[in-house]
Amino acid sequence: MILAVSHQKGGVGKSTIAWNLAVHFSKHLPTTIIDLDTQQSLTQTNQIRKSQGLDPLTIKHVSNAGELALHIENDKPNALTIIDSGGFDSAFNRVAIVGSDLLITPVSDKPFDLMGLQKYEEILKSLSEIQKETIKTNVLFNNLNPAMKNFGDLIEFICMSEHFELMTSVIRQRVDIANSIGVGKSIKEFRIFSKADQEFDALFEEVKLKLNIV
């Protein structure tokens, strides 16, 4: 199974989402991260994790889009690959989009993030024309202000496109999330039963349903 966390815009929280998903699912089935981010944030976080005496995750790097396509081609149904896409448009990221079984795009309520989502829609439209099928991404509200309760305008904006499907899970701004990454842990390893932990639990369950993970 291939899960890609993808958005051509940087700073939307792709690596944080990918990290927490990878740590969680690695406890249940063989899980590999492919780190496409030029900053290699997850690779560095994994090194911190190892230095803390925690079991490191399996992280793979690819040198070209063809190598990524080969990995996707050899995908196994009883294993999970999570691709942390870079915050830019590239052949790497387009291969990840086309080859994924589940595509997740984090976005906040910030105006620039919503503008970036319009650009991402253009990429999905272009790839859909090439593939001759409608490629959809699951839009995840991420890093939202905890006080925000009304999502009406955001939902209307996202649901206007045939390429977007809104996830029910919502991840809000939480200090625990940043602190957990700093010590190489997932939020569940850092502070169980916290609000952040509960929000990620909801995300894990939604991803399990979408990928049909038993």
- Ramachandran category for residue 6: left, alpha or beta (phi over 0 → left; psi -120 to 50 → alpha): beta
pLDDT at 116: 82
| Higher pLDDT pick, 83 / 149 | 83
Question: pLDDT per residue over 157-198, tens digit each?
Answer: 788 899 999 999 999 999 999 999 999 999 999 999 999 999
Here the tokens at position 25 are 């699912």
Q: Are strands 102-107 and 164-172 parallel, antiparallel or unpaired?
A: unpaired
Residues near 78 by beta carbon (within 8 Å), at least 6 away in sequence: 29, 30
CATH code, 81? 3.40.50.300
SS3 state at 8: coil
Question: pLDDT per residue over 25-53, tens digit each?
Answer: 999 999 999 999 888 999 999 999 999 99
* CA dist 189 → 7, 54, 103, 177, 185 (Å): 27, 10, 25, 11, 6
Which residues span the domain enclosing 53? 2-211
pLDDT at 189: 96
Please work out, in degrees rounded to the nearest 5, the angle formed at the alpha carbon of residue 144 by the alpha carbons of 138 and 145: 165
Please work out, in degrees rounded to the nearest 5, the angle formed at the alpha carbon of residue 165 by the alpha carbons of 113 and 22: 75
Q: How much is the pTM?
A: 0.94
Q: How confident is the model at residue 146 (pLDDT cuts 50, 70, 90)?
A: confident
pLDDT at 9: 86
Question: pLDDT per residue over 130-145, tens digit each?
Answer: 999 999 999 999 999 8
Q: Is the pLDDT of residue 148 over 80?
A: no
Judge whether 94 and 4 are in contact, CB under 8 Å. Answer: no
Q: What are phi and psi of 100, to 5 degrees?
A: -80, 150
Q: Is the pLDDT of residue 147 over 90?
A: no
pLDDT at 110: 76
Q: Which amino acid makes up residue 145?
A: N
- Cα–Cα distance for residue pair 164/141, rounded to 1 Å: 12
Judge whether 184 and 49 are in contact, CB under 8 Å. Answer: yes
SS3 state at 166: strand
Question: pLDDT per residue over 84-134, tens digit each?
Answer: 998 778 899 999 999 999 999 999 877 777 778 888 999 999 999 999 999
The helix or strand, by DSSP H or E, that contains position 121, with its residue range, turns out to be helix 111-131
Residues near 100 by beta carbon (within 8 Å), at least 6 away in sequence: 2, 3, 4, 6, 83
The structural domain count of the chain equals 1
- Length of the chain counted residue by residue: 214
Here the tokens at position 170 are 């919502």
